[in-house]
Amino acid sequence: MSDKIILYHGSFCIVQKPDLSRCAAGKDFGQGFYLTTSKAQAQKFVATSIKKAITQKEQDVQPLKGYVNAFEYTPSDNLSLYEFKNADIPWLHCVVSHRKQGCISGEFEKWIGYDLICGKIANDQTNTVIAAFLDGVYGPIDSDRAAELAISFLEPENLTNQWCFRSNKALACLKFLSAEEVRLYGK
């Protein structure tokens, strides 16, 4: 990755300066600030962000209004970066080890030193498959057969991407560009 890239973050608020201390642990690629190259994916995430913010009693949450924040990412040789090219067994093991630390021996520890991890997103539509995988429905979670079966159910060709900025050094490579208001419509 050598060219500047525009990335998007859907939120209940404008995020000009991301703060890692506000980022939840237990996400696909660990605790970090998540973005995507898909503006549509970021727009979809606005509703999820609003729901979480209301649950966590964040101030100034508007139940029907959020934002897609746009950032320019400038790659740096100083970052420890890992990019998953596909939703494959190593990708799945990374995701499940961050969602349930210790489920695969030594897997979580492999990712500790990375500033930035990129790859397919395991979103709300994939949660059922990943939960079943973690519960051993497809077989032992450290077996390739169970992982391959789970991945086939995830339909990886339909998954968009996510970028997890896991360190302040990684965040320093982002430049806030704008925030576009997104209106949700009540039921």
pLDDT at site 16: 96
| pLDDT by residue, tens only, the chain of 187 residues | 568 999 999 999 999 999 999 898 889 999 999 999 999 999 999 998 999 888 888 888 888 899 999 999 999 999 999 999 999 999 999 999 999 998 999 999 999 999 999 999 876 668 889 999 999 999 999 899 999 999 988 887 778 899 999 999 999 999 999 999 999 886 4
Burial class (CB in 10 A: 0-12, 13-18, 19+), 153: middle
Beta strands in the chain (DSSP E): 5-11, 33-35, 65-73, 81-83, 116-120, 161-165, 174-183
Separation CA 57–CA 46 (nearest Å): 16
User: Residue 74 has what pLDDT?
Assistant: 97
Q: What is the pLDDT of residue 124?
A: 65
pTM of the predicted model as reported, rounded to 2 decimal places: 0.91
pLDDT given at position 140: 93
What domains lie within the chain, and their CATH numbers?
A: 5-183 (3.90.228)
